[in-house]
Amino acid sequence: MFIGREKELEALEKRYRSDHFEFPVIYGRRRIGKTRLIQEFIREKKAIYFMATEQSEKEQLKSLTAAIREQYPDEQTKLIDRFSGFESLFSYMTQISKDRRIILAIDEYPYLAKAVPSISSLLQKFIDQEWSHTKLYLILCGSSMSFMERQVLQYKSPLYGRRTAQLKLHPLPWYESIRFFPEWQAEEKLLAYGICGGIPQYLSYFSLHKNLEEAVVEEFLSTDGHLQEEPENLMLQELREPAVYNSLLSAIANGASRLNDIAMAVGRDPGKITFYLNNLMDLELVEKIQPVESKGTRRSIYRIRDELYLFWYRFIPSCASLIAMGLGRAAWEKHVLPHLSEYFGHIFEEISMQYIQRLIMTGNMNELYTTYGHWWGTNPVRKREEEIDIVCANETDILCGECKWRSEPAGMDVLEILKERSLLISKGRKIHYALFSKSGFTESLQKEAESGNILLVDTEKLLAIQ
């Protein structure tokens, strides 16, 4: 089942129709769906697909040769078991793509570059001297974002300026992610997104189960679950000193958000953990945010950006003993389920923000906001800290939103508090209001919204968005 990625597919298809040399670069974190996107794109097309692995140059050459022979068994069958080198292989690609569209997709390119350090320079030579006059469609793909950005896309790379498209894959939005669960109940679909994020691989694992409880128990709370050790395994692959990173992620997942609070939780000096936090941000596992339209960084906070990591570090360590004893169901009932609504609160804010952005993208909201985020700061009148869940702003208008993931309907009190807080950041702009509620709204609030300028969104309306 292939879900989403319509824009990315269209970008690849557009260049495929160009009928001259093309060179798109695809990259993004592990499990994001890069390989699946390539496979969907090359389906029913003449393509050579090669996934590099951690092997020697000799073995890489042998594997790529085998991929070519598989697609062209009747052409130049005089090929020996492998080419004499990558230069002769690339020359062969020149010959077969002079007058017809041929796709050469090299997945996990960083592994190939590690085995053959000169490969990028060799590709540069062929692109400049030979392939630019052919119909070859070259795809380079990689999961090591730092490598792809620095060794393929940046100025100092031999391949700089040669790409004809650059696709960095991001997690799917929630309204595409929930399509993995057509038979699940509405609330469970949203919670599944709150646990897996928009990572297709994780969503696919969950989709194998009949409901949320079964998915969490089987995939997280069982020793043989696909996701039981997923974050730890990825940390071992990507980072040194995994114990330090585990401590940092655990601290943030359990409520520490400011630098000093995180440092205190892990028992380290604040100045010494910034390096590690920056590495986590490079991997897009953690993000550093500040109040919307804030000019300073004193109120900056850190939070886990990846929902699966947030869920794992929030719940799984405390369930380790029960999981080892095969008591995953008990772990769900006693340690996960009672805290799931609280856990989901901030994720519901992100879902609501995506809803607003989707309305704008589809032309169903008149205002075009240029700034999106959250706000927190001091109320000088009440002399206390205040928060606004959603803020969307431009020079003339500002939208302020409140999100309530709770069992009772949101009422007029919620709107009145939001109106008061909105005045703290309105700066004379026209204020619009948006209220999101899991359990709907009271009659009085619905009546008030009829006067306009107030958007009310319950779960049913949320899930109806296209």
**pLDDT at residue 175 above 50?**
yes
pLDDT of residue 299: 85
Give the domain-ending residue among 291, 306, 321: 306
Does residue 440 lie in a domain region?
yes
Helices and strands (H and E) in the chain: how many: 22, 12
pLDDT of residue 97: 93
pLDDT of residue 311: 97
| CATH code for position 97 | 3.40.50.300
Q: What's the pLDDT band for 74 if we cut at 50, 70, 90?
A: low
Does residue 180 lie in a domain region?
no
Give the domain-ending residue among 168, 183, 201: 168
**pLDDT at residue 83 above 90?**
no
- 316-344 pLDDT, tens digit per residue, is 999 999 999 999 999 999 999 999 999 99
pLDDT of residue 81: 53
pLDDT of residue 71: 83
Where helices occur in 72-150 by DSSP H, the ranges are: 86-96, 109-115, 119-129, 145-147
Write the single-letter amino acid at 146: S
Does residue 175 lie in a domain region?
no
Q: With pLDDT > 90 as the criterion, what percentage of the chain qualifies?
A: 81
pLDDT of residue 236: 80
Domain count, the chain: 3
| Nearest alpha carbon to residue 434 among 453, 420, 448, 450 | 453
> Helix, strand or coil for residue 431?
strand
Rounded to 5 degrees, φ, ψ at 398 are -140, 135
The answer to whether the CB of 308 falls within 8 A of the CB of 231 is yes
pLDDT of residue 77: 46
State the residue range of the domain holding 121. 6-168
Does residue 54 lie in a domain region?
yes
- C-alpha–C-alpha distance, residues 1 and 145, integer Å: 26
**What pTM did the predictor assign?**
0.90
Give the domain-ending residue among 114, 148, 168: 168
For 82, residues 6+ apart whose C-beta sits below 8 A from its C-beta are 58, 61, 62, 65
pLDDT of residue 154: 87
- 276-295 pLDDT, tens digit per residue, is 999 999 888 999 999 998 87
- C-alpha–C-alpha distance, residues 80 and 82, integer Å: 5
The answer to whether the CB of 227 falls within 8 A of the CB of 277 is no
